[in-house]
Amino acid sequence: EPEVTQTPSHQVTQMGQEVILRCVPISNHLYFYWYRQILGQKVEFLVSFYNNEISEKSEIFDDQFSVERPDGSNFTLKIRSTKLEDSAMYFCASKGEQGSTEAFFGQGTRLTVV
Amino acid sequence: GENVEQHPSTLSVQEGDSAVIKCTYSDSASNYFPWYKQELGKRPQLIIDIRSNVGEKKDQRIAVTLNKTAKHFSLHITETQPEDSAVYFCAGGGSQGNLIFGKGTKLSVKP
């Protein structure tokens, strides 16, 4: 069964450093998302991406964040200058064509900022 | 934007009993309402979903109901088993597919 894969599974970084979280969505999917989940809290929407551009973003997704689909298979989330409060589990998700409903989540990347 | 409220935050039931989790949403444009189960340290897994043109949907021991007028939707689990213990999240979404999640309900099923 096809699945969304994320790397790395755990990333530890120094405060102020840049991190890139990587995702490989399911191959024929068209919609891509990043969510985050601070430990013990709810899953929060960050950004959606369709047709090579951001279609929607939340208040959390400020200028420190960016997304890219560099080569037609990878979907990346970059945090330019990490803060302690960026520590969370980051989930990538993808969805098929317009009208399909289920979003498939990756296994997540646990980001720890120290 | 959409806001999803979920209750209760914790729920403890005896094995074999039913469990009900309720959510409300604010954006009448939302038309898709999935429920996710998340076990500790794992990804959210879709267990059932409902679209706004349907009032009820059932899959074995799990059912979801939707009241569009009141902007309520609920998850019903019957004949609960210890392996149902997890955190359950409701969510609401629109045509773009981005989901707004509730705060989660930690369900404990005691044998």
Q: pLDDT tens digit string along A74-93?
A: 999 999 999 999 999 999 99
Query: If you count residue pairs, one on A and one on B, with CB atoms under 8 Å apart, how many are there?
Result: 55
Cα–Cα separations (whole angstroms), residue B96 to A106, B31, B42 = 19, 11, 25
What is the structure's pLDDT at B52? 86
Confidence of residue A64 (pLDDT cuts 50, 70, 90): very high
Name residue, tokens 């399911």: A26
Confidence of residue B5 (pLDDT cuts 50, 70, 90): very high
Cα–Cα separations (whole angstroms), residue B67 to A40, B22, B52, B58, B59 = 29, 11, 9, 15, 18
Contact B33, B92 (CB under 8 A): yes
What is the structure's pLDDT at A28? 86
What is the structure's pLDDT at A56? 92
CA distance B89 to B103: 7
CB-CB neighbors (< 8 A) of B95 in chain A: 98
Tens-place pLDDT, residues B11-50: 999 999 999 999 999 998 899 999 999 999 899 999 999 9
The average pLDDT across B63-80 equals 96
Confidence of residue B95 (pLDDT cuts 50, 70, 90): low
| Residue A48 contacts B, CB cutoff 8 Å | yes
Which of A4, A31, A36, A43 to mutate: most B Cβ within 10 Å?
A43
Neighbour order of strands in the sheet with A65-68: A5-7, A19-24, A75-79, A65-68
Whether residue A44 is predicted with pLDDT greater than 90 in this model: the reply is yes
| Residue A91 contacts B, CB cutoff 8 Å | yes
Classify each residue of A28-59 as buried b or exposed e, where b means 16 or more C-beta atoms within 10 Å of its C-beta: ebbbbbbbbbeeeebbbbbbbbbeeeeebbbe
Contact yes or no for A50 and B45 at CB 8 A: no
| Whole-number average pLDDT of chain B | 94
Judging by DSSP bridges, how do beta strands B10-14 and B105-110 pair with one another? parallel
The average pLDDT across B52-57 equals 89
Whether residue A1 is predicted with pLDDT greater than 80 in this model: the reply is no
Alpha-carbon B103 to chain mean position: 11
Contact B5, B105 (CB under 8 A): no
CA distance B96 to B111: 41
Whether residue A7 is predicted with pLDDT greater than 80 in this model: the reply is yes
Contact A54, A48 (CB under 8 A): yes
Backbone angles phi, psi at B83, to 5 degrees: -70, -5
